[in-house]
């Protein structure tokens, strides 16, 4: 039997209704709330054939288990997008664009990275299976639904996966505060996989050594580094900027 999870908030519940409505068992909504946003979600749930239960706020608080729910909570089976990285790249019609997360264990960081990756049009987010946080309730909430819309692929050996990407002519670029080149000095219009390490420790040694190139994000103030989700956004949107300019 599939593991169950609690989805809290409009983004998480609406995204699951769009991508995997059958996984939702029940939806609980704040009985006194009848604004347009709530009515739209209820209509979406009813069209998907999901049960909606109006309840008091205290009941929602208990179901949400401490999560910020905005008046909407769903009980659902835990699902993961069943995506094979090789098959996805074989079927890709655009230039490959990947985000690799090495040892990201904070669910808030993973959720924010997934949200940014989805917004930037990344094909998939790849992480090691044993050194990464899973798609738990916090990730679902922080990602604002992106956890249900972008492929999150875990692999047993990250260095081996990076070498396989390089064999496909995908340029593997890691971030390093001490690198000579910056994110603005490389060609992001080519097939690319950005590699981000955990805060503090950064990438593991083997991951770093497997990268084709290391670059840094220019830091002009007094802080030494950026949060991994912010650093990911800088790199991903430099790619978006270059590719958009090339098409113009």
Sequence ranges of the binding site: 197, 217, 226
* E-state strands within the chain: 4-8, 24-30, 51-55, 72-77, 97-102, 124-128, 151-155, 171-175, 192-197, 213-215
Number of Cβ within 10 Å of residue 173's Cβ equals 22
Residue 135: CB partners within 8 Å, gap ≥ 6? 78, 80, 147, 152
Taking the C-alpha atoms of residue 206 and residue 209, their distance in angstroms, rounded to an integer, is 5
Taking the C-alpha atoms of residue 46 and residue 222, their distance in angstroms, rounded to an integer, is 52
SS3 for 218?
coil
Cα torsion at 136, 164, 201, 109 (round to 10°)? Answer: -30
CB of 95 within 8 A of CB of 243?
A: yes
Q: Which residues are annotated as a binding site for S-adenosyl-L-methionine?
A: 197, 217, 226
Taking the C-alpha atoms of residue 162 and residue 179, their distance in angstroms, rounded to an integer, is 20
**Backbone angles phi and psi of 221, in degrees to 5:** -105, -155
**Alpha-carbon dihedral sign for residues 118, 120, 123, 128:** negative
Could you report how far apart the first and last alpha carbons of the chain are, in Å? Answer: 50
């Amino acid at each position: 039997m599939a593991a169950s999870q609690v989805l809290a908030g409009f983004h998480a519940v609406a995204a699951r209704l769009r991508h995997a409505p059958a996984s939702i068992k029940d939806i609980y909504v704040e009985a006194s709330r009848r604004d347009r946003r709530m009515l739209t979600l209820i209509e979406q749930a009813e069209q998907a054939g999901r049960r909606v239960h109006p309840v008091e706020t205290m009941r929602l608080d208990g179901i949400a288990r401490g999560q910020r729910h905005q008046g909407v909570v769903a009980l659902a089976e835990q699902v993961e997008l069943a995506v094979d990285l090789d098959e996805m790249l074989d079927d890709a019609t655009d230039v490959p664009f990947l985000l690799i997360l090495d040892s990201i264990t904070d669910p808030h960081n993973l959720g924010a990275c997934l949200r940014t990756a989805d917004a930037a049009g990344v094909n998939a987010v790849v992480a090691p299976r044993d050194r990464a946080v899973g798609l738990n309730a916090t990730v679902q909430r922080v990602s604002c639904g992106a956890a249900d819309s972008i492929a999150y692929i875990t692999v047993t050996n990250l260095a081996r996966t990076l070498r396989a990407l390089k064999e496909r002519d995908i340029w593997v670029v890691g971030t390093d505060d001490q690198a000579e080149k910056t994110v603005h000095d490389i060609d992001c219009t080519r097939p690319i996989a950005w590699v981000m390490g955990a805060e503090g420790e950064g990438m593991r040694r083997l991951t770093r050594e497997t990268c084709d190139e290391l670059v840094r994000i220019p830091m002009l103030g007094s802080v030494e580094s950026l949060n991994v989700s912010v650093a990911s956004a800088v790199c991903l949107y430099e790619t978006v900027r270059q590719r958009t300019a090339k098409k113009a």
